[in-house]
Amino acid sequence: MKRRKFIEKSSLAGAAALLANSTMLSAVTKPISPNDKLQIGVIGCNGMGWSNTNSMLKMDDVDLIGICDVDQNVITRRLGDYQKLRSNKPAVYSDYRELIQNPEIDAVIIGTPDHWHCMPMVEAVQAGKHVYVEKPISNTIEECRLMVEAAKKSGKVVQVGQWQRSGPHYRDAIGIVRSGKLGNIRLVKVWAYQGWMKPVNKVPDEKVPEGVDYDTWLGPAPNRPFNKNRFHFNFRWFWDYAGGLMTDWGVHEIDIALFAMQVNAPVSVMATGGKLAYPDDASETPDTLQTVFRYDKFTMLWEHATGIDQGPYGRREGIAFIGNNGTLVVNRQGYQVLLEKVSRGYSATGEAKMEKIDDYRKPKELNYLDLHTKNFSDAIKANDTSMLNTPIDSGSIAAINAQMGNIAYKTGNKLFWDAEKGNFEKNKAANKLIRAQYNNGWKLPEA
């Protein structure tokens, strides 16, 4: 019904034919030369979608010409914000499929809730658009695989919003890890302690707010009455739409950890935790979690906690690469290498096992998101996906691993990954959670 309604109201000639034929869609997308302005559209502009758009608009050769959201109140606010930046008036859409049919749009930013990443991304690349998709790239492992395949078939530039990859000090830290100076790395710790996160107080269901297309917002998620706790920012803490801190903060940290260690998938994973800080609040995802991933040559421990800030090494968030010679601790503020010393019995001689590496503090004025969106723009202008700092095939690894951790938590089992078959061996409950469950007449797109 929604698709038929969309086709009927579309003002573009041949809309139905274009929807059915991605080759035709690609054909109407104009090529971009290094001297052209990059014309972008944004789908989902309440949070990071607008942050990413704002970042791209710092470039003089980028124009916003299309804006889409299911909440007209958000669109009104963002149009007001945009008037402070540029003089043109972007076209407004309530249906993302209309936006991606606009042949003047070269690239699309997807800033929707996680359960709405897959369909727009797949259909956008099939329509000949380049895509910047927020992290995690999707809400299931099956969707991740589908999105990677769609990007590969299209040849379009697809950047994942895991912007830490564009940070110079993260690249330097990765270089230290790969140099071998730390010695054999047997353990990697990744964590997010988030003191700002308070209980999500329970509130009753209510009437859908004026201007909100709630049916479309739900999309493939199960049909539920409107509750403001599950809408906009707090969607992150409900399984229907996202995966909690594991997939919110976790993908950033896990991404750097696995990229540095050059691995894709664990041998096994197990998790424990729960709603231990705020057991009676409205959220569903765990506020306290420890997840152990076993890879061929090392173990990775993910942990998160809400309402407190004192994480490992006195840092709210970070990654620690623990080697025989030293430990490198890196987070958004910089990095530090803690040296191991030669020991005899219970005493240390004071002789370090490796040369000292100076601490690094990131300059406050350096904005890594801006570097990431510039990298996306440059790759589009060069038509070169190899330039991307977080291409979707690489960026998907963190999302898949984080989802594995959530599946281990949900099942309560230690899970063993069969890399050849791409499943959790004979664990039926875990394998079911790999797949996307679409509702309300929506269907998983085809790559």
Fold of 166-362+392-434: Dihydrodipicolinate Reductase; domain 2 (3.30.360)
Q: Which residues share a beta bridge with 299?
A: 187, 294
**Range with the lowest mean pLDDT among 33-42, 108-117, 414-423, 424-433?**
33-42
pLDDT above 80 (res 19): no
Long-range CB contact pairs, 416-424, < 8 A, 24+: 416/267, 416/268, 417/265, 417/266, 417/267, 417/268, 417/269, 419/265, 422/145
pLDDT above 60 (res 325): yes
What's the pLDDT at 167? 98
3-state per-residue secondary structure call for the chain: CHHHHHHHHCCCCCHHHHHHCHHHHHHCCCCCCCCCCEEEEEECCCCHHHHHHHHHCCCCCEEEEEEECCEHHHHHHHHHHHHCCCCCCCEEECCHHHHHHCCCCCEEEECCCHHHCHHHHHHHHHCCCEEEECCCCCCCHHHHHHHHHHHHHHCCCEEECCHHHHCHHHHHHHHHHHHCCCCCEEEEEEEEEECCCCCCCCCCCCCCCCCECHHHHHCCCCCCCCCHHHCHHHHHHCCCCCCHHHHHCHHHHHHHHHHHHCCCCCCEEEEEEECCCCCCCCCCCCCEEEEEEECCCCEEEEEEEECCCCCHHHCCEEEEEEECCEEEEEECCEEEEEECEEEECCEEEEEECCCCCCCEECCCCCCHHHHHHHHHHHHHHHCCHHHCCCEHHHHHHHHHHHHHHHHHHHHCCCEECECCCCECCCCHHHHHHHCCCCCCCCCCCCC
What's the pLDDT at 348? 63
Which tokens is 418 given? 């069969």
- In tens, the pLDDT along 327-383 reads 999 999 999 999 999 887 776 677 999 999 999 999 999 999 999 999 999 999 999
Q: What percent of the chain has pLDDT over 70?
A: 91
Higher pLDDT, 355 or 23: 355
Q: Which residues share a beta bridge with 232?
A: none
What's the pLDDT at 350? 77
Sign of CA dihedral 398, 377, 45, 306: positive
pLDDT above 90 (res 101): yes
In the CATH scheme, what architecture does the domain 2-163 have?
3-Layer(aba) Sandwich (3.40)
Average pLDDT over all residues of the chain: 92
Which band of pLDDT confidence, cut at 50, 70 and 90, is reported for residue 27? Answer: very low
What's the pLDDT at 447? 85
Residue whose structure tokens are 């896990």: 254
Average pLDDT of span 31-38: 72
Average pLDDT of span 303-330: 97
Closest CA to 436 of 259, 122, 221: 221
Residues 104, 108, 113: CA angle, nearest 5 degrees: 145
What's the pLDDT at 30? 55
Average pLDDT of span 299-314: 97
- In tens, the pLDDT along 224-266 reads 999 999 999 999 999 999 999 999 999 999 999 999 999 999 9
What's the pLDDT at 65? 97
pLDDT above 90 (res 25): no
Higher pLDDT, 388 or 36: 388
Spans of all domains in the chain: 2-163, 166-362+392-434
Which band of pLDDT confidence, cut at 50, 70 and 90, is reported for residue 33? Answer: low
Residue whose structure tokens are 């895991």: 162
